[in-house]
Structure 1
Amino acid sequence: MFPSSVTLCGTYGSILIENGSCQAGMDILKPCTGAANSQMDRGISCCFMARAHHRLGNAEEARYWLQQAEDIGGCAEVFAKVAGEIAGKQALGVAA
């Protein structure tokens, strides 16, 4: 069973990343970053793509996806948390 809603796919992919299954999460999130999807779906998906790459040690890819999220917008809170994590300031979901 696989959700057909972009938002549900994004949520599922993000949960996989949160639980450490970064590659599986990225595989699900990548289509959610497409231009045909809503600004919020695209922005949040890009943030979690950045987080997954950061966790995997792919700094350049993490910066790329974070820049994509910033350019798209629509996800300021998630963007700030992921950017902070990548900068080493805080973990996603944990107050600084």
Structure 2
Amino acid sequence: MVTQRILVSGRVQGVGYRDWVVRTAQRTGLTGWVRNVRDGRVEIFVSGDDETVAKLVEGCHEGSPLARVEHVEAYSAEGEKQTKGFTKRFTA
């Protein structure tokens, strides 16, 4: 089990990116959340098995069809509070 925080920058707000993350995470059994950040990025907090989380991080480089991802930064969030299910949260 691994927990990561992912920050995605580029044209990722208002293009269905968060919905894509939610669908992908729920389909693959990941837990966590996704939200917009006021600076224009999308933040993802995700937990699951190593391989599935790695596939999500890899997929974040593409995201939704209308997104134009410029940068994906993923780092360990071990020790942070786990969640149940996968949800979309309000902007931080």
Same fold (TM over 0.5): no
Q: Larger % of strand: which?
A: 2
Q: Larger % of helix: which?
A: 1
Larger RCO: Structure 1 or Structure 2 (Cα < 8 Å, ≥ 6 residues apart)? 2
TM-score (norm 1): 0.29
TM-score (norm 2): 0.30
